[in-house]
Structure 1
């Protein structure tokens, strides 16, 4: 097997994937804007290369010698398709044969309310049009995000506004998504396919929050709001509405537009998908939301 390029290697997903690939004896090219953050991967034999998705020339040089690319979607929701285009062009220029892309449930739907899904839809199309072999991993909402980014402020305030309504989503452990990606990169037969990657059970955000409250022994009042009410909540936290309004190096690197339209897509049923992908590719059943909550409970406010 040739060298596997892992983008975003200093991020949680990329670092975990690179680490698992190294453990399996694979040759890894780890791309990151911050090489000092992945010194541990270099010590274990990874070729760590500095790469910036906004710099096509530098990115092309960084991908030299790779056979497969794990393309982890960048964080700039609403503006990242050009970054992904650069990555695909750099891969093609280097003769990379297979691009494994971290997409999202609903990423294959053209007219989707979520700006997240719109980004992913456009990226899936440009990968397919490149002529490279592809595998789209349409990951569901991370259970880890529910256990931290959602649970901690809700427990701290005892209150959570929500625009997802009665819509359901099968929250998935990030580690299960990483294991699926590693499986696809190291097994045969996954070329030119798209997989929904989900947890074992679809539930509403109300049900998830009730589980958090029960485990913490603290009440959390969930207030159903419309999309504008959700925007106003994020406004009160100082979150920019659009990616173009994010302050460079500011305290909040994401925009509320992605979060609000994500809630809308849950409410309208676009996220109500349960698949057996995790078990089929990894041989293990997906982790439940409850088990992920248990693993993160130590970070919750007392």
Structure 2
């Protein structure tokens, strides 16, 4: 039995689809979800849907009973991830799970990126648990930049403090394929995989790709950190969230989101999504949909 936490999220659904595509019987896949109602389509495929919140250790233990291999997809809410992940790890131990793969963060143990401490702490929890493990240290997702693309195109400007820093992002589908490959493969125990896209980009190059796809000017404008913070708070973001967003751009400027590792493409057996083509296609779709 293979279990996926956060199974109704974007990444979880893609991992399940890849497992099925690889020939894994649906009844051997456990989807651990917070809401059964959001997993009706998974249940209809014959997947074993089990309800357990990251905050409910006893429910998690019950949900993981009979599971041999587990993919812990990191919780989505910063600030509470460590106790939530601890619940999953302790439940996995109590349920007798034999192996755990965790979606961590690129260079989680050394990067200054503000997301890293919770991932580093989770990795330490997993190691201390004694569970055989693999850390899937995922880099940035291309989809992080396309959620509000129509508004970006309408403004014609991307602002930030990333400078000429480069991002080695990949598509969710790439990271999902990697997770499925590890869950179905062997010899990954104890490995730390630094995963990122084969090709990196600057935010200026990203803006040019959006412009090409949309057929309208889109440029990147470099700001100072205080000016960018003011833009974000002026748009309605709380000060703490604005500081967090500025910190991500500062991490890009430092090179924290760039990697020359090609472990991701090697693991999935194909090149990762080309970011410029991805952004062009997303912009064209946003324009046609609008």
Same fold (TM over 0.5): yes
**For the residues of structure 2 that align with 1:60 and 1:256, how far apart are their CA atoms?**
37
**For the residues of structure 2 that align with 1:191 and 1:227, how far apart are their CA atoms?**
42
**For the residues of structure 2 that align with 1:56 and 1:222, how far apart are their CA atoms?**
45
Could you tell me which runs of 5 or more consecutive residues in structure 1 were left unpaired when the two chains were aligned.
Answer: 243-254
Q: CA RMSD in A?
A: 1.8
- How far off its partner does 1:214 sit? 2.2
Q: Does residue 1:267 correspond to 2:253, yes or no?
A: yes
- How far off its partner does 1:73 sit? 0.8
Normalising by structure 2, we get a TM-score of 0.92
1:134 maps to what in 2? 133
Cα distance, 1:176–1:71 mapped onto 2, change above 3 Å: same
Aligned residues: 285
- 1:171–1:202 Cα contact (<8 Å) kept: yes
- 2:98–2:132 Cα contact (<8 Å) kept: yes
- How far off its partner does 1:31 sit? 0.8
**For the residues of structure 2 that align with 1:238 and 1:63, how far apart are their CA atoms?**
41
Q: Does residue 1:282 correspond to 2:282, yes or no?
A: no
Could you tell me which runs of 5 or more consecutive residues in structure 2 were left unpaired when the two chains were aligned.
Answer: none
2:214 maps to what in 1? 216
Normalising by structure 1, we get a TM-score of 0.88
The C-alpha deviation readout for 1:263-285, integer Å capped at 9, x for no partner, is 11111111220322233212111
2:115 maps to what in 1? 116
1:240 maps to what in 2? 238
**For the residues of structure 2 that align with 1:227 and 1:94, how far apart are their CA atoms?**
47
Most deviating of 120-129 and 275-284: 275-284
- 2:204–2:219 Cα contact (<8 Å) kept: no
DSSP-derived class of the 1:136 partner:
strand
**For the residues of structure 2 that align with 1:257 and 1:22, how far apart are their CA atoms?**
41
The C-alpha deviation readout for 1:228-282, integer Å capped at 9, x for no partner, is 333322222322344xxxxxxxxxxxx4444322211111111220322233212
- 1:180–1:278 Cα contact (<8 Å) kept: yes
- 1:115–1:261 Cα contact (<8 Å) kept: yes
**For the residues of structure 2 that align with 1:102 and 1:258, how far apart are their CA atoms?**
21
Q: Does residue 1:190 correspond to 2:188, yes or no?
A: yes
